[in-house]
Amino acid sequence: MARILCIANQKGGVGKTTTAVNLAAALAIYEKKTLLVDCDPQANATTGIGLDKTRLRQTLYHGLLGEADIEDLIVGSEIASLKVLPSRVELIGFDIEMMAQPDRETALKRLLSPIGDHFEYIVIDCPPSLSLLTVNAMTAADGLLIPLQCEFYALEGLSQLVQTYQRIKRSLNPHLQIAGILLTMFDKRTNLSHQVAEDAEAHFKELVFKTIIPRNIRLSESPSFGKPILLYDAASIGSQSYFALAQEVMDRPMAN
C-alpha cells in the first residue's frame, strides 16, 4: 500500500505547494512510484508540474463528487515515475456541495482507495486553510507534513493545525501521524531564521526534519516554467535540499 503524505498549513506562503511538487518529484526520481494529488482549488501544484489546466477535461473535483473514476483522472508528467491527479478552480465548490453529505470527510479516502497498491507514495497538496478539503486530505493520509517558514509569527497558528490533527486522529483517522515539520524559506544571513529554527527544534524536538529548505531564487523561478526544481536546475541548493528531504522521508519512521 502507498504511504500517503498530506502537506498542510493553514497559513499561505509557507512553501506548501513548492514542497508537495518537489518532494513528489524527488521521490519519483529515486524511482519510487509516486502520485501528486492537487487538493487546492488554486491548482498551483498542477501548473507547477507542467500541466495546462485549460486542456483538462476532468479533475479531482469530478472524482470527489463521484462523477469520474480515479483511473480516468490521473495524468503523466515529465518524470516517468510521477503521476498527477490535477485540480482546477471548480474545486472551490466542493465544501458547499458536500456540506449536507454525511460522509463528506472521507470522499478523498474513498477516491484514492482503488489505486493504493499502484503507488509507493501519494503526496497531497492542501489549500491554505483548515477547510473540508484539508480535513479530507488528513483523513486519507498516513502522515501530516507541516511546512514552517522561518519568518516572524511562524509558530503562531501552528497550535490550531495541531489541534485539527488531534481531532481528526481521534474521530476520523486513528492511523494519522505527524510525518515531520519542515523548516522553509531559511535565510542563513538573518538572526530571525536561526531563532525560528531554534524555537521549532526546542518545542517539537525530533519532529523537525534535519533538512532545511533555504530561500533560493531558482526554487522561486521554477513554478513559472512548469517544472519542479529538480528538472529546472538540478544543481541548485533548492534541488539538493528536496533530494535530501526525500531521502529523510524514506528513511524516517513517523511519530505520533
In the chain, how long is the greatest CA-to-CA distance? 51
Q: What is the pLDDT along the chain (256 residues), one digit of tens a residue?
A: 899 999 999 888 899 999 999 999 999 999 999 999 999 999 999 999 999 998 999 999 999 999 999 999 999 999 999 999 999 999 999 999 998 888 999 999 999 999 999 999 999 999 999 999 999 999 999 999 999 988 877 777 788 899 999 999 999 999 999 999 999 988 778 887 888 888 888 888 889 999 999 988 899 999 999 999 999 999 999 999 999 999 999 998 655 5
Residue ranges of the domains in the chain?
3-251
The pLDDT of residue 254: 59
Q: Using CA atoms, how far apart are residues 236 and 172, in angstroms rounded to an integer?
A: 40
- Which residue type is seen at 239? S
Helix (H) or strand (E) holding 83: strand 82-85
Specify whether the backbone of 153 is left (phi greater than 0), alpha (psi in -120 to 50) or beta.
Answer: left
Q: Using CA atoms, how far apart are residues 104 and 95, in angstroms rounded to an integer?
A: 9
Half-sphere exposure of 212 (CA within 13 A, CB side): 16
Q: Using CA atoms, how far apart are residues 128 and 113, in angstroms rounded to an integer?
A: 25
Q: Which strands make up the sheet holding 143-149, listed edge to edge?
A: 75-76, 82-85, 34-38, 121-125, 3-7, 143-149, 177-186, 208-214
- Which residue type is seen at 225? F
Tabulate helix, strand, coil % of the chain (nearest 5). 45, 20, 35
Q: Using CA atoms, how far apart are residues 109 and 116, in angstroms rounded to an integer?
A: 10
Task: Report the DSSP beta bridge partners of residue 177.
Answer: 143
Third-level CATH fold of 3-251: Rossmann fold (3.40.50)
Query: What size, in residues, is the chain?
Result: 256
DSSP collapsed to 3 states, 229-244: HHHHCCCCHHHHHHHH
